[in-house]
Amino acid sequence: MTKRILILSVFVVASCGLAYELIAGALSSYLLGDSILQFSTVIGCYLFAMGVGAHLSKYVLDEDVLSRFVDIELGVGLIGGLSAALLFVTFSWMAAPFRIMLYALVFLIGMLVGMEVPLVMRALNARQTAFNELVSRVLTFDYLGALAVSVLFPLVLAPYLGLVRTGFLFGMLNVGVALWTIHTFRAELKNVAARLLRAAVVMCLLACGFVVSDRLVHWGEHGLFGDEIVFSTSTPYQRLVITRWKDDLRLYINGNLQFSSRDEYRYHEALVHPVLQSLPWARSVLILGGGDGLALREVLRYPNIQHVTLVDLDPAMTNAFTHRPELVKLNKGSFSDPRVRVINADAAIWLQENDDSFDAAIVDFPDPSSFALGKLYSVPFYGILKKHVAANGLIVVQSTSPFFAPHAYWTIDATLREVGFHTTPYHVYVPSFGEWGYIIASTQNNYTPPTQYRLPLRYLNADTTREMFSFPPDMQRLPMEPNRLNNQSLVHQFEQDWRNVIR
């Protein structure tokens, strides 16, 4: 019976150890971007620390193995359980030491986790377990625990509990293993009463953190964003936060500003009207991204448009902008228009699986700050999109800033040209973002910017349109290579461009 308890404890501690690693990688990716770099460095630091911990375990005396195992479980539970909350608050209120805190916590947790399995194996060995059976059982349950968490984390834990609450949950599981061990092996442990008291204190602390985690996240996000948070949610795909200051609503995705209600009309007028003004015959429009319904709002102003299909990955986004009154007011109830069909799906997969054709396509994805987003700016993606737009139709792509991220901007232009499009780059000044860029793509080299508009607009007219399509000397075209899936050069260019701006 005692052997089975020790073996089952391996399953739990392996699950907890991997959970802390995934939390650190995911949180650093959310906050710092460049998911491959963050996960690679977190995993490398964690595995190295596990090696250090495994080495240190040999200095534990045989008669102290179970006592030290309990102490380590309490330490892992406390530090690992608090890790997500500590990292989030550190980034929100004092961003400078975030990386130091990140790798210090990852190393400390990894070192403690690295001591767990060797101590369990020594405890089993002391109970005269055959070596081949010992290794087989311990490693089997170790890997099964890792598998369980690797499946549950992206599908259940992160989207429904959130990273902070998930950290507290697994911390309590570690403490649970400690309490279980104390109860089962109390005759072999030293200072049982003191260890029970410590376990109770840590468990209470983690349970309180689990209960108040939403308030903790809200407090941290208030420090990060500064303004009142009117809506926030974690989804399987991203963290959505909407803030308000006086009459200004702002949407943030993974901490990155997507729009400010004070000037979003500049962005969306520039995105939509240079294309649709040039297609008075258009009847159907495809919008990729744009789950806030603001580009959709502008498209629906054209009475000739009969059908609009909007494909956005995250149902939480489209639901919020369909039902929350302050957001519905902003997009003028665009999702309730009978001409609109909303599809929550990966745009690349949806394009591959459907044969629908459109007169115009508006591509309004977030910036290519990760490889998941970078694929939506790649040669294969634009090649597939090309098949869904009429030969005399137009495509417009949100293309980041030609001033702050010129290499990324002109990489998008080169990618569109690689699949046979003729491109017309342009830019607009949006106070919340600075200079922002777009690219119109067509299979026929006959696009001419409008000189007038059929609709009354707040920003666009003949003069502002002429300025949009003229690039000053400090935003001229750069010779760039297309963005291909095998290397995703665009993501690297984007990260480097914005890193230079921050410096």
222 — pLDDT class (breaks 50, 70, 90): low
User: Position 363: which residue type?
Assistant: V
R_g over Cα of the chain: 27
Average pLDDT over residues 126-148: 69
Average pLDDT over residues 111-123: 85
Could you tell me which residue, 218 or 351, shows the higher pLDDT? 351
pLDDT in tens, 170-203: 999 999 989 988 888 888 888 889 999 999 999 9
> pLDDT at residue 503 above 60?
no
CATH topology of domain 2-215: Growth Hormone; Chain: A; (1.20.1250)
277 — pLDDT class (breaks 50, 70, 90): very high
CB 251 within 8 A of CB 276: no
Q: Is residue 461 within a helix (H) or strand (E), and if so which, with residue range?
A: none
pLDDT in tens, 74-99: 999 999 999 988 887 777 665 558 78
Q: Is residue 297 within a helix (H) or strand (E), and if so which, with residue range?
A: helix 294-299
Burial class (CB in 10 A: 0-12, 13-18, 19+), 330: buried
Average pLDDT over residues 434-446: 93
Compute the half-sphere exposure of residue 81: CA atoms within 13 Å on the CB side of its CA: 27
Average pLDDT over residues 147-158: 83
CA–CA dist 54, 12 (Å, integer) = 18
pLDDT in tens, 464-490: 999 999 999 999 999 999 999 888 889
pTM of the full predicted structure? 0.76
Sign of CA dihedral 239, 257, 386, 377: negative
The CATH number that domain 262-502 falls under is: 3.40.50.150
Tokens 């909303």: give the residue: 342
Q: Give the active site residues.
A: 364
Backbone angles phi, psi at 158, to 5 degrees: -65, -45
DSSP 365: P
- Give, in degrees to the nearest 5, the angle at Cα 218 between 213 and 222: 150
- What are the residue ranges spanned by the domains of the chain? 2-215, 222-258, 262-502
**Three-class secondary structure assignment of 120-186:** HHHHHHHCCCCHHHHHHHHHHHHHHHHHHHHHHHHHHHHHHHCHHHHHHHHHHHHHHHHHHHHHHCH
Q: Among 23, 21, 43, which Cα is nearest to 31's?
A: 23
Average pLDDT of the chain is 88
Segment of 22-36, 113-127, 480-494 carrying the highest mean pLDDT: 480-494
pLDDT in tens, 352-389: 999 899 999 999 999 988 888 889 999 999 999 999 99
Over the range 103-140, which residues count as b (16 or more CB within 10 Å of their CB) and which as e? bebbbbbbbbbbbbbbbbbbbbeeeebeeeebeebbee
107 — pLDDT class (breaks 50, 70, 90): very high
What region does 168 belong to: left with phi over 0, alpha with psi -120 to 50, or beta? alpha
| Confidence at residue 132, expressed as pLDDT on a 0 to 100 scale | 62
| Confidence at residue 411, expressed as pLDDT on a 0 to 100 scale | 96
CA–CA dist 381, 348 (Å, integer) = 6
